[in-house]
Each structure stands twice: as structure tokens, then as C-alpha cells.
Structure 1
Amino acid sequence: MTRASLSALNPSLVNSANFYGNFITKLPFSSSSASSLQTIENSQCKPLLNPLYNLLPETRNPNKIVDLISSSLKQNNSQLTLLQNHIKPLIPHLGCHEITRVLLRFQSDCSSALTFFNWVKNDLGIKLSSHNYCYIVHILAWSKNFSLAMSLLCELIDFVKDCSNCEDLFESLVSCSKDCNFDPVVFDMLIKGYVRKGMVKEAIRTFTNVLEVGYLPSVITCNCLLNGLLRLNFIDQCWLVYEEMGRVGIRPNSYTFNILTNVFCKDGNVDKVNEFLERMEEEGFDPDLVTYNTLISSYCRKERLNDAFYLYRIMYRRGVVPDLVSYTALMNGLCKEGRVREAHQLFHRMVHRGLNPDIVSYNTLISGYCKEGRMQESKYLVHEMIGNGISPDSFTCRVLVEGYGKQGRLVSALNLVVELRRFGVSISSSIYDFLIVSLCREDRPFAAKNILGRISQDGYVPKPDIYNGLIETFCRCNNVADALLVKAEMVRKRIKVNLVAYRALICSSCRIGCLSSATATKWILIKQS
């Protein structure tokens, strides 16, 4: 219909249309305000039903925004960028209701729905509502795009957590499921999302709500929940979840029982393990390697080696072959009781049965020998592991160096460090700190300073406490001149000299009769304070 015919029908309509057209053109978010589009927040407005809007061109008619976007999506996803320039005056009318309408139109085309969702969120900068998130999660889950659905669900959990109002996401997902295709797997995903975020209370509440509305979470989801509860030490809740699983008919699997075995061990109810294992067998599950290793480790920690070795023998009878974890746990238990020779024999038995020891196995034995002061055996094991292509780690080096230090054999410790470095083993700064501090305690400041000078060339940066301790040791040995040299180096490197070091300098200077040095140091201290 032309403007002339409109005028003939009703001039007042034309005036009204002109008024609304001019009004929209003059809005602050129209053609000249492209930047403001990126920050405008989403409104909860309903679709505008003013019939006068239908007299405007489509690109200025708020009632047509959903049709325009849908049409562009159907043609080509890349058309959204071009469309954005044509409908700038309409962008402020793109509220959560309109966003939902577009998403629902493309619920069978998850690619287009996701493109639109990301366009609104990233390109337009519109603040999406939790319901918009729920709809896109439903659409992606229905299309079996579970990884993306899970990612957006976790994003939604963070979004709701940061808001002041504590929205129930389960209720939101249920509410949105009435309008679109949905897969109950989203409820499993919500439980897993809460567990992933460490929000186990919300996960338990969601688990309960899911059961109340008649859906059954998968055993994998239940295991995820049990694992999260165990990790945060919510032992009682683990058993409540397990009882609920039995009540509603969710059949546990071997992973469930392995988690519950860990619960038993963490709760200290190792005595009830046999009863639990019997129940496990009644359910049709035989204890596997993980079950046995969990129990053996727990028995060894509680110094019940007889029970641990009983399970070790049972494993062979039941056709479960012990692995490195089994042997290392038993070796560790023996070493804690001072039975290192027996642990070493078990180590050889493990090797003869075809298992290659790893760094943990070697460290267990080396640590056991070091605690007994048998450094020669420890050093032999270090050479053996290097020969087998296993490089000592920071734990290995620290145990050996501290073992020599306890025997007062710091020279041997230093020689070992030099030898390890020759093998290409990285020495941590904490080991160097230990050596320097130990030499200072033995009043051997020149040896400590010599080491400090050598390792500083390799990039070692000593802590201020190392320098201050060195000053105190020189002063204790009445070597004030060397202490002042260390102090001068600290000043040059802009490292603060502490009060104890200053006092040591003053006392040592007075003790050897060097009053001028003591007075100068005192004035420096007064000036700094």
C-alpha cells in the first residue's frame, strides 16, 4: 500500500506512523551509536504489540526482529554480521524473550542456534539470562553435543554463583524443558558440573531433586558425586548417596565399590572391609586391582602389615596380579617399621616378576635406608636407578643430602651434589639452602660462602635469610671483616640486612676491640630505623 493510499484512508494514521518513525530514528541507540550496542543489558520485556510498528519498514519494526534474525540464519550463518548493520535501531529490543524465540525456532539445528547464541553474547555484548543458557544447553544436549553443553552449563553455574539471587538451576532447566526438546542427561550434567566446581552441597540437592521428579541419574553420575564427596571428606554423605542409589534401583558398578572402599579406609572402618567385600561379591563384583591396592595402602598406613600381606597373597589366589602400586605400598610399610632389608628383598621379587621399578619405588627404598643411616646402600640405589635410565628427582636428592647432614657428613653431601650434577641431575635451591644453613650451624662460614659463590654463577639466587645467617656465622667466629664483605654485597644487591645481623656485627666488633667498626655499624642501624 502506497503513502498516497494511506493518506486517503486515514491521515491521522500517517501522522502517527511518521511520529513513531521519527521517534525511533532519534533514539540514542539508533544509527549513530554503534558502540553503545555492545554494553546494553538485556531486558525482560515482552514482545512489543503496538500495531503502529507494522507501518514501519521491517528493519525498523521491533515486531519483526525475530523473523529477520531467523531468516538470516536460514540463509547463512555469516549473514548475521551483515544483518547487525541493518537492524541497529532494533538491537535494544532484542530481550531475553526474543532470544528464546529464536533459539526455539532452531532447536533442531544446534549449529545455527549456537551461532546465534554466541553472536548475541560476544558480538552484541547483550547480557543473557539464565533461561537463555538453559535453552541452549537443552538444544545442544538433545543434539548429542554434550561437551559444548557441559561447557556452557559450567559457565551458567559460575554466572548464577556470582549473582546475588541464588537461582535454582535445576528448576530453571525443568521449566525450560516444557517448551523444547530435551534429554534428561542435562540433569546428570548439572550434578557433574556442580561437582567439578566443588559445589557438592548443590550437587547433593540436585541429585535429590532429580530423584523426586522421577528421573534416575546414571551410575557414572553417581560415581562422580561419590568421588567429589570423598575428595572433600564428606564421608557420611557418601553413604547416604549410596543408600539412595539402592533405594531407587541404580545398580552400582566396580568403580562405585572402589570409591566406597576408599571411603571405608578414609573413615577408619578398615575392620568392616571384609563385610563390605562380601557384599560386593554378592552384588556380582569381584574385587579388582584398584580395590586391593586401596586396601593394602590403607593397612600399611595404619601399620597393619600382616593384614596387608594377607591381601597380597589373596590377590594371587584370585588371579589378580599385584602391580607397582601394590609392591611400593608394601615396601613403604616395611620401611616405616625399620624393616628395610625385607623391603629390598620385596623389591627384588618385584623385579624378578617382570615389573620395572619406577622413581617412587626407588625413592621408597632410598628414604628407608637414609632413615637408618645406611648411606652407602642409598648411594648404590641412586647409581642403579641412573643406570636404568631413571633420573633422581628433588625428593631423592633432598633425602640423600639430609641423610648425610644428620650424620654430620656435609663434605660427603657436597660431593654427592657435585656427582649428581655431573650426571645432569637438576639440584633444587632448597637443597643448596639446606647445605649452606647446615655449614653455618657447624660454624664453617668460609665453606658456606665458597658454595654460595659457585652456585650463584649457575643462577642460584639466595634468600635474604641465607646472607644474614652467613653474617651471623662470620661474626660468631670473630671474622668481622668477612662479615662486612657479605654485608657490602647485600647492600650492592639491595638485599635488606636484618636486625639480628646488625647486632651480631656490633657485638663481634666490640669483642675483638674494633670499636670504630661497631660505632659505624650502630649509626647505620640508627639511621635505617
Structure 2
Amino acid sequence: MKSTKISSSFLSHKFHLPPKSSQHLFLSSSSLQVAPADESESETSSISSPLYNLLPDAENPAKAVDLVCSALKPGNLIRIAGRKAEISGRPLTSSEISRVLLRCQSDSRAALSFFDWARKSFKCNGNRLDTLNYCLMVHILAWSSNYSQAMEVLSDLVRMTATKEDSVFKGLIQAAELCNWSPVVFDMLIRVYIRSGMLKRGLRAFQNASRIGFSSNVITINILLNALSQENHFSKCWEVYDEMQRIGVSPNSCTFNILIHSLCRSGDLGMVDEFMEKMEEEGFEPDIVTYNMLVDSYCKRGRLKDAVHLYYIMYKRGIPPDLITYTALISGFCKAGNVKDAHQLFLGMVHRGLKPDSVSFNTLLHGYCEEGMMHEAKSLLHDMIRDGVGPDDFSFRKLVEGFRKHGRLVSALNLILEVQKFGISVSQDIHEHVVIALCMDNRPFAAKNFLDRMIDNGFEPNMVIYRELIISFCNCSCVDEALRLKDEMEEGKGLKLCLDTYRSIITCLCASSRNLEANSMLQEMINLGLEPDAEICRALVVGHCGDRNINEALFLLGFFARKYHVFDMVCYNRVLRLLGEKGNVGELMEFQENMMKIGFAPNKLSCKHVVGGLQKAMKDHRNYI
């Protein structure tokens, strides 16, 4: 590999190179030490004093670089630790670190040994090597074809200079004036930026390299194009492609496929035909990857006729559709509600010798479930098992949702029990999904039986499962079963109820006129640090009003308002109505006054109840007279 030299005047015209760092490295009789970054360079100049020539080499600071390089000669690597002890203590400047690296550039192993040691020493002292030191090391390793190690050093430098725009690129340019180097370092920099999630800097590095005459290779450009496409920077993809043509880098089939994929992702299918013509003019024939991207894109956008047309074109051009092609078409037909044609396409795929995988099976299965064709879906599940393609969570989830959607949730439960007999593993997520679906379908007893089977098989139900079961039992007015489940949950599993669960139990107890138990449940949840809400307040107050327990209702209404700032007008009006029915004007007006003091504001219904109470009192008075 020939050395590449860069004109200093050319570089200075293109870039303002950064000033050299003033970081230092100390050499002492005990260890190499880090000097602070603000150490004055004046100390460095004093090292060149002629008087130092009168000292022995081991005590002469001006000989430090020579001594280190001597220790790093082949065969002497293990002597560096002992050799450094002979060197008098004083700082080794950043410039001298660079000189050591430059004098060792023909031996990348020795240079890397010194660099790694210096980097660790700096880190221990809270400092770090400067950008030029790193860039020299990268060039030395890349020139020696040690690309993986060069990438590691470059990655470390990129992390170190994450807040400094273009500093690494400028450092590589500056270092290239001093040592043998290869333009491959700029490709490496682009890749490191992309790998580190710094896509914009990767793009900028590509643009900077192109501007000063360095052409990235097609593989690096493809990596950049793909990253831009994945991040939806579609216009930038075409900027890179135009620049690629300008600097004379020939695209390959991968380049064209990435750009076609970019067009498909952006929805600009109108430009696809034009670009494919250009692609063919440059001697590239669309391959299976190209066609699959187009078929998939057409199907996702509902252009099934275009997708099917491409399907036939593939055969005419001697490119038989593969599993990906068929799966995309099946998905397109299913989304269009044409499950019958999707089924025929699936059979045709099998007839042509292609073996369906879990994705193709699940695609058709999803189509069946969406259309309510549960018999066909169940039959397809059996085909999956017979062909050795194990159903996954997606398969079972779609089946459960399909059966539930059409009011046949118990059939889903039976299907899961059936496949387990064949040794098919069903994950805990699916078991939990079935339990929750049964609860939402108001089938808590079926859900509890299924939960018991889960526990027998070693599954551990979590808080979500217990919550859904308790709420479902309460919704079905089965509060005793809910309370038993609460005890099992707390005593057997050590779990605590959440606010939703307490709300359901308290509401159900009040609806069953078990208001004292509801009061106890309220106290329990408060002791656990849970704050009751308006719905709990309403259940309790309305419940006690239903039992004509006016004193408890009054207490709870005031308690919720004062402590939890719950001002529920349904509760307020319910108590007001009960007082009005008694016809006691004094109690009625006192209640009204007290409630207004703590923040209640009567509404139209409140006034109606007050008027009704006054009328009742007047009527009672007339009857008494």
C-alpha cells in the first residue's frame, strides 16, 4: 500500500485545523503519570536546553521519547515497565506522545501497546489523550490493515468528542499530514457514526470527505443510504445518490434496492417505474429482493392489481416468486377482505413446493379470524402443527380474539386445552390473555377454572389477573367469590389490592346492601394508603341512603369532602332528597348551610329537593292541624 501525502496548503484551504492540545503525560521513576490539560507548553521548550545534554540519558528529559521508543522495540515490550522506572520524572507532552506513535508507526502492535497504556493512565488521573493522538493511532492501525482495532479506537474517540462537531474529521486530516495513511479511515468514520446512532454526523463526514476529494466505497455509501431510509430521511437518500454519481462511485444492485425501498417507504410509487428504467439502463436487472419490496409496498397500499401484475412479470423474467412474495400477496388479499383468493394463493404456494413458515401461516390465520371464518382458522392451526410449524403467541392471540369477537370464547379456551394435549407449549401471556378475555366477557367462573389449571401447570398469576377476576365477579354481583379471591390473593400470594379492585368490591357490597362491610373495606384501603375517589363515595353514600341510614350518609359525605376534596353532587342530592322526604325543615336547611360552607354548590336538582321537602313539611303540618 502506497503512502498518501496531503498538501498542507490544500488542507488549510479546505479546513481550519484545530490547535494542538496541551495535554501532557508524566514520566516518573515509579509510573507514567497524567499531566493536567492546562499545563503550559513553556515547560516543553525548556526541555530542549543544552544543559540537559550533560545528564545521563536515563535522567535527561530530552531523551524521554528515545527511551520509550527503545523500550517498545520488538522483543523489548515486556521491558517497558522496568525501563520507564529509569526515566526522570517530568511531563511527556501531547506532542511527544504523537512522536512516539509516529516513530512506532511501522510496528502497529508496539504503537497500540503504548497507546493503550497511555489511555488507561490518563483515565486513572481524570484526563484523556487528545484528538490528534487518537487520530494518529487510527491511521497507524488502518495503514497496517488492523481494521477492527482501528474501528475500536475510532469508536472511543467518537464517544469522547460527542459534543464537538467535525472535530474527529479534522483530527484525521491533521494526523494524515504526519504519517502514512489510507482514505479508508473516512469510510470507517462514517460507519462508526452510524453504528453510534449519530446519523447526521455520518452524513456530514461523507459530505466533507467528498468535498475534499475522497470517495467512499459503495459498501459504506449503501450503509449510509440504508440508515437514512430507515430513519425516513428520504430526500437525503437522493442527495447522497446524486453525490455518489458526481464523485464517480458506481452503484450496485444493493444501492438500487435500498433506493427502491426508500421510494416504497415514502409512498412515492409513481417514481418507481422511472427509477427502475434508469436502473436497467445502467445494466442492473431487478432481482427477487427488488420485486418483493415492490409487491409488499403495492399490497400495503391496496394496489393489488399492480402487485399481481408484478407477480406474473416475475415468472416471465425467470424470477420465481418466493415465500416472501407469496406472504405479501396473501396479506394484501386478506386486508382487502378477499380471504378466498388468499387461501387459493396459499394452496398454490404449497403446490409449487414452497414450505409455509410461521409468518405465512399467521398471515392467512389472521385473515380467517378477521372474517369470522373460525372453522377454517382452526383447521389451519392443525395444518401448522402437522407441518411442524409451531403456533406462536400471535397465532393464539388472533384465535382468541376471533372467537371472542364472534361470541365463542369458550371455544378458544377448549382449543388451547386441545393443543396442549399434543404437547404444544402455550405461553403464560396467552393464558393470561384468555383469562382477561373471559373476564371482560363476564365469564368469571370459567376464567377462575382456567386460572386454576394455569396454577396446576406451574403458572403464577399476577396482580393484573386477580384484578380482572375480582372486577368480573363484582360485575356479575358475585361479591362472595370476589372476597374469597381477595383472601387467596393477599394471604396465599402476598399481593395487595389496587384502587380499581377496592372500588369494584365496595360498589358491589353497597349494591347488595352490605354497607357495613363496605365501610370496613373503605377503612382497609385507607390504611393501605389508597385514596378513595368519587365513585367509591357515591357507592357508600347512596348505599346508606338506600338503607335510610341518614346519619352515616351525612358523615361520609362530609368526610369525603373535607379529607379528599370529593364534592359529588349525586351524593349531595341523594342525601338532600332523603332529608326532604322526612319533611324536617330544620334538618334540611341546616344540612344545606353546612354543605355550602365546606364547598358544595347546590344545582337545579338540589333546589327541587329543597322545595319538595318544604312542600312535604307544609303538607304534614296541615294534616297535623
Mark yes or no: TM-score above 0.5. yes
Residue 121 in 1 paired to residue 119 in 2? yes
Q: Matched residue of 2:391: which SS? A: coil
**Once structures 1 and 2 are overlaid, which stretch shifts more, 340-349 or 473-482?**
473-482
Following the alignment from structure 1 to structure 2, what is the Cα–Cα distance between the partners of residues 449 and 39? 68
1:185/1:29 Cα in 2 relative to 1: closer, same or farther (>3 Å)? closer
Question: What residue is the counterpart of 2:449 in the other structure?
Answer: 450
Following the alignment from structure 2 to structure 1, what is the Cα–Cα distance between the partners of residues 144 and 394? 49
CA contact (8 A) 1:192 1:221 kept: yes
Deviation at 1:134, TM superposition (A): 0.5
What are the Cα deviations for residues 198-220 of structure 1, in whole angstroms up to 9, with x where unaligned? 22221222222112211211122
Residue 386 in 1 paired to residue 408 in 2? no
Question: What residue is the counterpart of 2:552 in the other structure?
Answer: none
Residue 436 in 1 paired to residue 435 in 2? yes
Question: What residue is the counterpart of 1:111 in the other structure?
Answer: 109
Question: What residue is the counterpart of 2:154 in the other structure?
Answer: 153
Question: What residue is the counterpart of 1:517 in the other structure?
Answer: 517
What are the Cα deviations for residues 248-268 of structure 1, in whole angstroms up to 9, with x where unaligned? 222211111111101111221
Deviation at 1:409, TM superposition (A): 1.8
Question: What residue is the counterpart of 2:139 in the other structure?
Answer: 138
Q: Matched residue of 2:483: which SS? A: helix
Question: What residue is the counterpart of 1:251 in the other structure?
Answer: 250
CA contact (8 A) 1:153 1:190 kept: yes
Partner residue of 2:94 out of 93, 96, 111: 96
Following the alignment from structure 1 to structure 2, what is the Cα–Cα distance between the partners of residues 272 and 57? 76
Partner letter of residue 375 of structure 1? Answer: M
Q: Matched residue of 1:93: which SS? A: strand
Following the alignment from structure 2 to structure 1, what is the Cα–Cα distance between the partners of residues 216 and 245? 12
Deviation at 1:287, TM superposition (A): 0.8
The alignment of Structure 1 onto Structure 2 pairs a total of residues equal to: 495
Deviation at 1:473, TM superposition (A): 2.1
> Which protein is bigger by CA-based radius of gyration?
2
Deviation at 1:231, TM superposition (A): 1.0
**Once structures 1 and 2 are overlaid, which stretch shifts more, 515-524 or 45-54?**
45-54
Following the alignment from structure 2 to structure 1, what is the Cα–Cα distance between the partners of residues 246 and 476? 76
Partner letter of residue 483 of structure 1? Answer: A
Question: What residue is the counterpart of 1:13 in the other structure?
Answer: none
CA contact (8 A) 2:222 2:254 kept: yes
CA contact (8 A) 1:198 1:228 kept: no
Partner letter of residue 214 of structure 1? Answer: G
Gaps in structure 1 of 5+ consecutive residues: 1-27
Following the alignment from structure 2 to structure 1, what is the Cα–Cα distance between the partners of residues 29 and 66? 21
State the TM-score, normalizing by the size of structure 2.
Answer: 0.74
Question: What residue is the counterpart of 1:229 in the other structure?
Answer: 228
Gaps in structure 2 of 5+ consecutive residues: 1-25, 530-625
Following the alignment from structure 1 to structure 2, what is the Cα–Cα distance between the partners of residues 350 and 61? 81
Matches within 5 A, 1:5-154: 45=41, 46=44, 48-74=47-73, 75-87=75-87, 90=89, 93-122=91-120, 125=123, 127-154=128-155
Question: What residue is the counterpart of 1:19 in the other structure?
Answer: none
Question: What residue is the counterpart of 1:16 in the other structure?
Answer: none
What are the Cα deviations for residues 281-332 of structure 1, in whole angstroms up to 9, with x where unaligned? 1111111111111111100001101101111111111121211111111111
What are the Cα deviations for residues 340-385 of structure 1, in whole angstroms up to 9, with x where unaligned? 2212221222222222211111111111111111122222222222
1:93/1:259 Cα in 2 relative to 1: closer, same or farther (>3 Å)? same
Identity of aligned residues (%): 48
What are the Cα deviations for residues 464-515 of structure 1, in whole angstroms up to 9, with x where unaligned? 2322222222223333222222222333334332223223222322333434
Following the alignment from structure 1 to structure 2, what is the Cα–Cα distance between the partners of residues 38 and 514? 79
CA contact (8 A) 1:362 1:381 kept: yes
Matches within 5 A, 1:404-419: 404-419=403-418
Residue 262 in 1 paired to residue 261 in 2? yes
Matches within 5 A, 1:472-511: 472-492=471-491, 493-511=493-511
Deviation at 1:53, TM superposition (A): 4.0
Question: What residue is the counterpart of 1:465 in the other structure?
Answer: 464
What are the Cα deviations for residues 63-100 of structure 1, in whole angstroms up to 9, with x where unaligned? 2222122111113322223335544x53x623322221
Following the alignment from structure 1 to structure 2, what is the Cα–Cα distance between the partners of residues 166 and 269? 33
**Once structures 1 and 2 are overlaid, which stretch shifts more, 399-408 or 499-508?**
499-508
State the TM-score, normalizing by the size of structure 1.
Answer: 0.87
What are the Cα deviations for residues 409-447 of structure 1, in whole angstroms up to 9, with x where unaligned? 222211222233334433333322321222222322222
Partner letter of residue 129 of structure 1? Answer: D
Partner letter of residue 399 of structure 1? Answer: K
Following the alignment from structure 2 to structure 1, what is the Cα–Cα distance between the partners of residues 503 and 228? 54
Question: What residue is the counterpart of 2:618 in the other structure?
Answer: none
**Once structures 1 and 2 are overlaid, which stretch shifts more, 507-516 or 111-120?**
507-516
**Once structures 1 and 2 are overlaid, which stretch shifts more, 151-160 or 298-307?**
151-160
CA contact (8 A) 1:42 1:95 kept: no
